[in-house]
Amino acid sequence: MREVNTDLHFHGKFAGAVSEQMIPEVIAKQAPLKGLQLVGTGDILNERWIKLVKEQLTQENEGILSHGNGTKFFLQVEVEDINRVHHLAILPSFSKVYELRERFKGVCKDLDTDGRPKIRLNGEQIAEAVIEAGGMIGFSHAFTPFFGLYAHFNSYKQCYGSQAKNIHFMELGLSADTNMADRIEELHNLTFTSNSDAHCLHPDTPIVMKNGYTLPIKDIEGKAATGMLSLDLENDLKIKDSMPIKLVKKPSPPSLIEIKLRGDSLKVTPEHRFFMLNEGMIIERINCRLKVNLRS
């Protein structure tokens, strides 16, 4: 059996918190540098993205496209349901993409404005639509506190209802690893995937360690066993000792944004996300949408 390195979860320039440079031909050129031969198109329900995909890639058969450098693509999209759970879907052909678009048009206001559309259906209804279109569906970044399935349900079977029998994979995301997920008995029959849906800090970003000293994030590897301080977003919003789950290094984009704070500054990608406190609630803001003197 031939081994293929693949990334199942991509987004393009029309999705929120994604760089303008994320277009099919750039993704194709960068894929070999990361050892990938097969990647998802991302956002394939978005009409503007479909146009770019067809312009910049060549269709080999119903569900596979390719770039001139040999990188292969399959038809993929992430959607958000009415409960704010994110789902990852893979579709077999453009005809099924258009079929699913028609089905979602009446229950989605941003199908062609956002690459990651918000569908006014629950997980069971979305899964039913994808399965009837001949596709596959699983849940994205399962353990993240805002858009992960386990942030809203105690069981994936509760989320997908009658369609749970058709769920065969899940995405770990950066919030979990295989050993952590494998402790949940209901997940033993699912395939675990880990993909690139992530955002980055500059290597010089200071991280506060348990002993009170700071280290650039680039120097944490090998020293993180001492622990670090982080904000507990899920419970009491207090600073607590914590241990990192994973350290991921990614190539920097051509340009970064420097955010100046009182006495300090941060360098981040334009699509980096921040968590802010607003009237006792944690809200998420994308870097490119921050404003000078914004207080939350």
Q: Where are the domains of the chain?
A: 6-193, 206-289
Which pLDDT value is given to residue 174? 67
Which pLDDT value is given to residue 71? 96
pLDDT by residue (tens digit) across 63-81? 999 999 999 999 999 999 9
CATH architecture of 6-193: Alpha-Beta Barrel (3.20)
Q: Provide the token pair at 108.
A: 């989605």
DSSP-assigned states of every residue in 252-265? PPS--EEEEETTEE
Which pLDDT value is given to residue 296? 45
Hey, how many other C-beta atoms are within 10 angstroms of the C-beta on 73?
Answer: 27
Q: Provide the token pair at 99.
A: 């079929």
Which pLDDT value is given to residue 294? 46
Low-confidence ranges of the chain (pLDDT < 50): 198-199, 287-288, 294-296
Residue 290 has phi, psi (to 5 degrees) of: -75, 155
